[in-house]
Amino acid sequence: MGVGLRHRYLHCLLAGLLLVAALLHVQSASGQSDQTAGAPGNLAAATEQYRHALDAYNASHDRYTAVANAYWSSITDKRKLRNSKRAAGEALAIDDYVLDQPPVYTGPPKPRNPLKPETPGRRATVPVVADFVVAAQQQFNFVPRIPQNDIQFKQVYAQVARAAGLTRDQVVRIYSFEATGNGSYDVEAGLEYNKHARAITTALGYNQLLATNSVEIVAEKGRQFIDEFRTEASTLKDGQRQALESKIEALRKMVAFARSVPDDWNQHEILANTEKGLGVHALNLDIDVGPLLQTQKLLDSVVFARRKGVTRTLTAAELEMMNLTGDGNGFDIVTMPQQWREQVPTSNFFRPSGYFDNPVAQRNNVVAKLIAATDARMDEETKKQGAKDLAAALR
């Protein structure tokens, strides 16, 4: 094809394409015009329908809210009553618990506003291990001493846990429940099976400590850890001693930070959500400090129960109840007669938000079922290699 002929061919092709584009534009404009013409009437009808649906929803949900508030208030009141009776040395009765299950909303769903199309909400980003490490370095000039592999971390953890008096059954079964039976020392909630998924909380390690747990333990036991490290440092050679002394200095600053507020969970939670708090959480990754933190979380519950008069060894599932619901609520479960466990709803040991965020507690809605489900999960997860490795390290 000659140059002139090729030029005319391209010119005709371009003209054709422009014509098609023009026709499509006209059709699109016509369609939009038709839709716009009919929109006011349709929108008015949709708005009216929405208002009726919203009134029905509000009325139904208000009734539910009144019943739910009364229910959860009774949970709080009964808990206070039990605490008062224990403090006075009085025996508890099963009627000191709420024996009804929480009310469930069964009314119409909240309607969508046609004037305000809903957009998907943005989920908050949960910090991950890399964020903890960066925060520790920037805020405290601290870099965790990472183990060569997970077996090494398990060996140190096993040594610390044994020295604290924890049983092999407690350590292995709780690790299996919390860290899936194969979790590594740096496993974070939500990333147990897929490192590229989204973290759902800052829960970290073998016993899934939240950043708030880390801040609280450092506030309460950090000085004890420092004393132990100072004793160890005095036996080391120059290079090793200097490295440990550097860690002690970072830990000293973390203790000062963690103790800058009253020893209260809510206050520690505020600190945990700061960059410094995330830096403290990075201690769990350190082979020297991490096993101390992970052990202390379980030991605190054991000591709490012992201080309250429980002299027997807690089963792993009972210890997990204290881990799951908090020491006070967990102690309540541990000391409950077996026949009561068959009747008392699990809701007695949660706040509303915690209960509705915990599908396991909802499905297993009385204490006996929750403990049985926990034991069954532990039975299954202890078959995995990570649990076997930890059991071997504890022998």
- Tokens representing 35? 């839709």
- Tokens representing 53? 């649906």
- Report the C-alpha gap between 355 and 363 in whole angstroms: 11
Nearest residue to 282 via CA among 184, 160, 185, 156: 185
Q: Which CATH architecture has domain 129-394?
A: Orthogonal Bundle (1.10)
What's residue 11's pLDDT? 44
3-state secondary structure of 95: helix
What are the residues whose beta carbons fall under 8 Å from the beta carbon of 310, sequence distance 6 or more? 331, 334, 335
Sorted by where each begins, the domain ranges of the chain are 3-96, 129-394
User: What are the helix (H) ranges across the chain?
Assistant: 3-87, 129-140, 150-163, 168-178, 211-233, 238-258, 265-272, 275-281, 290-307, 316-325, 327-334, 338-341, 352-356, 359-363, 367-381, 385-394
- Report the C-alpha gap between 232 and 174 in whole angstroms: 29
Residues of the chain with pLDDT under 70: 1-40, 121
Residue whose token pair is 């499509």: 24
Cα 374 → chain centroid: 17
What's residue 22's pLDDT? 39
What's residue 39's pLDDT? 59
Q: What is the DSSP letter of 313?
A: P
249-270 confidence digits (pLDDT tens): 999 999 999 999 999 999 999 9
Q: How far is CA 193 from CA 179, 198, 199, in A?
A: 10, 11, 11
* Residue pair 250/140 in contact by the 8 Å Cβ criterion: yes
